[in-house]
């Protein structure tokens, strides 16, 4: 299937779920409706992020992979406080459905970017790095 197609699928389904939740404010009190939304959205988010990390890791050289992964994890951890502040602002103004509309716009923008931008399918830098192994000063290593 590929990481980019998986991410498009997860983001598209997530966008549809967010729009449906924003349009059905009268059903928010139904426990089954909220439970289905949370379960489906968690699945889409998991699908989305599992596909996003390898796509982003292919962009840079393997030498910076650990730093790059740390930055991605920090950005993903920043999502919870950002979402909490967005929920506070929208609910505080009496427009709680706007939380879902704004989130749907962000997820939809991601789908549009993924449809028009082609990310590398494999890390070319990894092959270059493996072919040019660095040698330190001194004797060359003995290959058996």
Q: What is the mean pLDDT of residues 135-144?
A: 66
Domain boundaries, the chain: 3-118
Beta-carbon neighbour count of residue 52 at 10 Å?
Answer: 21
User: Secondary structure of the chain: what % helix, strand, coil (to 5)?
Assistant: 75, 0, 25
Beta-carbon neighbour count of residue 35 at 10 Å?
Answer: 10
Whole-number Å distance between alpha carbons of 10 and 16: 10
Q: What is the mean pLDDT of residues 18-42?
A: 91
In this structure, of 25-29, 50-54, 60-64, 138-142, the range with the lowest mean pLDDT score is: 138-142
Whole-number Å distance between alpha carbons of 92 and 74: 27
Query: Of the spans 50-59, 68-77, 110-119, which averages the highest pLDDT?
Result: 110-119
């Amino acid at each position: 299937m590929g990481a980019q197609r998986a991410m498009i699928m997860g983001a598209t389904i997530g966008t549809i779920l967010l729009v449906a939740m924003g349009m059905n404010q009268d059903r928010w009190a139904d426990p089954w409706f909220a439970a289905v939304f949370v379960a489906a959205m968690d699945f889409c988010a998991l699908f989305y992020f599992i596909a996003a990390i390898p796509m982003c890791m292919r962009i840079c050289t393997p030498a910076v992979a650990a730093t790059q992964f740390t930055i991605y994890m920090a950005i993903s951890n920043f999502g919870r406080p950002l979402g909490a502040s967005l929920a506070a602002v929208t609910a505080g103004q009496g427009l709680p459905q706007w939380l879902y509309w704004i989130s749907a716009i962000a997820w939809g923008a991601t789908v549009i970017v993924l449809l028009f931008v082609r990310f590398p399918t494999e890390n070319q830098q990894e092959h270059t790095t493996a072919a040019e192994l660095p040698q330190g000063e001194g004797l060359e290593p003995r290959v058996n």
